[in-house]
């Protein structure tokens, strides 16, 4: 095979997501043509995606030394240099790209973003924030590295850098930045952020020890309690009763006012307020709630929706939500100030969408802001907080006898806890699978893939010896975490070549992985929620294990709502049996994907109109 054909084959594999195969072919090309600019540049791209910026720069430099290197090679070198903080060199590379191709708009835009002589750390930080809000995390990180260099003794600059690394899945780099900040400041929030990063690289016990130290003081509890409580959901060894008791213990000292506004039952229009920090991007809360609020705008519902946004963003999703719901920014406001705003707005039912997750303002529910309060969608557990009246779910999430596991009263939707409508960017399902070995897959967060999950999935792979497993998550942006995951599977007898461990992708590209995955595997005890809805919508059969409480019963709820309880396992043995049965049927040519897509049309999980009616009726019942 000549070099041109070999390069085309490598590029085809690269575009298809077969990164290891593409890398091997590019390196084969370099054996015959060591200065091949295309192979060098694309190897640089692979290195950059894996987080190895130094190797990416080395490869791009070699490619750029070739006089025939296209403008894109210099542009890619500029991006890698920018990621490393070498802004002056990055500017030179962008300029070279424009010399070769004056109409290269991306290079011109990138160059305009760099002020190589910038010496004001505050200005750099503001610009970094703008870039991050617009989705350019790499450029933001480069500016923050510059800010740290200009103000080396400032812990805030290092915290900002850590936040950006964490936001792009580079948790180990974030830990290094936070550790450096911790050398300069004893602020408890720094240790909380380190613990959050430890959770995301698969070290939950280390994280919990870090958080437990902070819980010993009132100041530490204020910043660490919610992170500690959420960390409990990942641990298969903890009972639901213990999880409830810890949630109640750590929210017991939160403020609670008894004198709430009176109920306004005579008013026809129901005013619903949402506390959120998640109306942006492809966040699950926005994905699931936008279709509901959109339908509630219709006059027949007589519902007026208001949002109190703790972290307003500027993107297409935020703009869409602002069109659907009257939005008030609560950024910078104290909890009491937000509660006063809610009272002045005359809200009948105040719903928290975050629980103990990032951006939380849960304590506002205890400040007598509205006659009735509830939690919905954003946190799959009891909150433990006495300020929350209701926890919204369904009969599968909250079976008979489950009340003792929750501090809230349980409000059950009749058909489904969630309903999925494809958001912008969601690809259309494919009716036929791609040829090749059966591919299992999961796009869940790495902390959910605990030792028990790895052992069970490895058992499936051993018993289906020609199958493969694809995992994609934010933590795989760093090669160290990819290696750690591969070692976990190797210890269970699964060879590295049977695994596709992929770095995170933009939403549409990530969703296209479901065009390749034949069977989705749900983790436990913290099930997938959005990931399972995505898989089922795309026609991918999903195997889930029925757990004991909210976070472990989401798979059961979603499969029930999709009319697919036959894929729900009662124990680990039946989980394996279901997965192997599906694999055998798919390998034999049964068109399970087409059948699932056809049945979705009548499934409650995808009936947005019925779901909106159910939600509206429930709101009126609990308001």
> What's the pLDDT at 609?
97
Q: How many residues does the chain have?
A: 623
CB within 8 Å of 85: residues ≥ 6 apart: 142, 145, 146, 149
> Are 338 and 299 spatial neighbours (Cβ–Cβ below 8 Å)?
no
318 or 498, which is more confident: 498
- Determine the Cα–Cα distance for residues 455 and 490; give it in Å rounded to an integer: 10
> Are 531 and 520 spatial neighbours (Cβ–Cβ below 8 Å)?
yes
Q: What is the pLDDT of residues 455-469, one digit of tens each?
A: 999 999 999 999 999
> Are 412 and 394 spatial neighbours (Cβ–Cβ below 8 Å)?
yes
**Mean per-residue pLDDT, 119-132:** 75
Strand, coil or helix: what is 414? coil
Q: What residues are paired with 543 via a beta bridge? A: 521
> Are 520 and 542 spatial neighbours (Cβ–Cβ below 8 Å)?
yes
- Determine the Cα–Cα distance for residues 454 and 427; give it in Å rounded to an integer: 29
Q: What is the pLDDT of residues 238-273, one digit of tens each?
A: 999 999 999 999 999 999 998 888 887 666 899 999
Confidence band of 414 (pLDDT split at 50, 70, 90): very high
- Determine the Cα–Cα distance for residues 381 and 392; give it in Å rounded to an integer: 10
Q: Which DSSP string do the residues of 238-270 spell out, in sequence order? A: S-HHHHHHHHHHHHTTS-----PPPP-TT-SSE
Percentage of residues in the chain having pLDDT higher than 70:
97
- Determine the Cα–Cα distance for residues 179 and 266; give it in Å rounded to an integer: 56
- Determine the Cα–Cα distance for residues 123 and 132; give it in Å rounded to an integer: 14
| Same fold yes or no, 3-113 and 156-251 | yes
- Determine the Cα–Cα distance for residues 35 and 490; give it in Å rounded to an integer: 36
Kindly report the CATH number that applies to the domain delimited by 439-604: 3.40.50.2000
Q: β-pairing, 326-329 with 349-352?
A: unpaired
Domains of the chain: which residue ranges?
Answer: 3-113, 156-251, 270-419+611-622, 439-604
CB within 8 Å of 78: residues ≥ 6 apart: 90, 91, 92, 93, 94, 97, 107, 110, 111
Q: What is the pLDDT of residues 17-27, one digit of tens each?
A: 778 888 999 99
- Determine the Cα–Cα distance for residues 283 and 289; give it in Å rounded to an integer: 10
> What's the pLDDT at 430?
87
Give the mean pLDDT of the chain.
92
- Determine the Cα–Cα distance for residues 151 and 119; give it in Å rounded to an integer: 10
Kindly report the CATH number that applies to the domain delimited by 270-419+611-622: 3.40.50.11380
pLDDT at 115 over 70: no
> What's the pLDDT at 298?
95
Q: Answer yes or no: CATH 1.10.357.10 is held by domain 3-113.
A: no
pLDDT at 116 over 50: no
Strand, coil or helix: what is 306? strand
Strands laid side by side in the 568-569 sheet: 499-502, 468-472, 439-442, 519-521, 542-545, 568-569
- Determine the Cα–Cα distance for residues 562 and 540; give it in Å rounded to an integer: 12
Closest CA to 593 of 428, 471, 394, 417: 428
- Determine the Cα–Cα distance for residues 250 and 306; give it in Å rounded to an integer: 29
pLDDT at 490 over 90: yes
pLDDT at 135 over 70: no
Confidence band of 311 (pLDDT split at 50, 70, 90): confident
Q: What residues are paired with 441 via a beta bridge? A: 470, 520
Q: Give Cα 168 distance to the centre of its chain.
A: 10
> Are 43 and 51 spatial neighbours (Cβ–Cβ below 8 Å)?
no
Closest CA to 368 of 477, 517, 262, 450: 262
pLDDT at 118 over 70: no
First-to-final CA distance of the chain: 71
**Mean per-residue pLDDT, 73-98:** 85
Q: What residues are paired with 569 via a beta bridge? A: 545
pLDDT at 168 over 60: yes
> What's the pLDDT at 117?
46
**Mean per-residue pLDDT, 75-98:** 85
Q: Answer yes or no: CATH 1.25.40.10 is held by domain 156-251.
A: yes
> What's the pLDDT at 540?
98
> What's the pLDDT at 198?
97
pLDDT at 380 over 90: yes
């Amino acid at each position: 095979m000549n070099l041109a054909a070999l390069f085309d084959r490598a590029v085809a594999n690269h575009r298809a997501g077969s990164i290891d195969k593409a890398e091997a072919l590019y390196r084969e090309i370099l054996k015959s043509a060591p200065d091949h600019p295309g192979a060098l540049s694309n190897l640089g791209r692979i290195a950059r995606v894996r987080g190895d910026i130094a190797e990416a720069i080395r490869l791009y430099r070699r490619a750029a030394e070739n006089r025939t290197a296209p403008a894109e090679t210099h542009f890619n070198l500029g991006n890698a240099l920018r990621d490393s903080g070498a802004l002056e060199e990055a500017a030179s590379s962008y300029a070279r790209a424009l010399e070769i191709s004056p109409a290269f708009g991306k290079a011109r835009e990138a160059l305009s973003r760099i002020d190589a002589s910038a010496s004001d750390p505050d200005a750099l930080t503001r610009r970094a924030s703008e870039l991050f809000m617009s989705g350019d995390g790499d450029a933001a990180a480069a500016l923050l590295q510059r800010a740290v260099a200009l103000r080396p003794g400032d812990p805030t600059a290092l915290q900002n850098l850590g936040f950006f690394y964490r936001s792009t899945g580079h948790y180990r780099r974030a830990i290094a930045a936070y550790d450096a900040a911790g050398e300069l400041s004893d602020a408890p929030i720094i240790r909380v952020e380190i613990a959050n990063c430890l959770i995301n690289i698969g070290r939950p016990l280390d994280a919990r020890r870090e958080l437990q130290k902070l819980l010993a003081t009132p100041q530490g509890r204020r910043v660490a309690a919610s992170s500690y409580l959420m960390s409990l959901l990942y641990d298969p060894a903890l009972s639901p009763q213990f999880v409830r008791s810890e949630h109640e213990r750590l929210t017991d000292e939160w403020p609670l006012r008894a004198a709430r506004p009176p109920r306004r039952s005579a008013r026809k229009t129901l005013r619903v307020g949402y506390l959120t920090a998640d109306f942006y991007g492809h966040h699950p809360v926005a994905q699931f709630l936008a279709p509901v609020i959109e339908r509630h705008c219709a006059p027949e519902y007589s519902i007026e929706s208001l949002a109190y946004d703790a972290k307003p963003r500027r993107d297409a999703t935020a703009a869409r939500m602002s069109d659907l719901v009257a939005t008030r920014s609560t950024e910078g406001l104290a909890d009491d100030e937000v509660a006063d705003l809610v009272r002045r707005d005359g809200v009948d039912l105040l719903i928290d969408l975050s629980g103990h997750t990032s951006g939380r303002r849960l304590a506002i529910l205890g400040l007598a802001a509205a006659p009735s309060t509830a939690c919905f969608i954003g946190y799959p557990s009891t909150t433990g907080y006495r300020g929350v009246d209701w926890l919204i779910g369904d009969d599968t999430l909250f079976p008979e006898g489950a009340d003792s596991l929750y501090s809230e009263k349980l409000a059950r939707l009749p058909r489904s806890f969630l309903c999925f409508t494809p958001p912008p960017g969601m690809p259309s399902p494919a009716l036929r699978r791609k040829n090749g070995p059966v591919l299992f897959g999961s796009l869940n967060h790495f902390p959910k893939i605990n030792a028990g999950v790895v052992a069970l999935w490895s058992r499936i792979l051993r018993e289906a010896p020609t199958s493969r497993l694809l995992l994609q998550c934010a933590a795989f942006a760093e090669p160290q975490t990819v290696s750690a995951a591969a070692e976990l599977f190797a210890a269970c007898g699964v060879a590295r070549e049977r695994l596709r461990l992929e770095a995170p992708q933009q939403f549409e590209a990530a969703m296209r992985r479901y065009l390749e995955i034949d069977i989705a595997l749900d983790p436990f005890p913290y099930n997938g929620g959005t990931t399972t809805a995505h898989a089922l919508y795309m026609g991918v059969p999903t195997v889930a294990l029925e757990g004991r409480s909210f976070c472990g019963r989401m798979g059961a709820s979603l499969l029930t709502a999709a009319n697919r309880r036959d894929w729900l396992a009662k124990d680990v043995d039946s989980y394996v049996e279901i997965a192997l049965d599906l694999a055998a049927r798919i390998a034999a040519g049964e068109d399970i994907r087409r059948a699932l897509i056809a049945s979705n049309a009548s499934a409650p999980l995808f009936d947005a109109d019925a779901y909106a009616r159910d939600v509206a009726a429930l709101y009126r019942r609990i308001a």
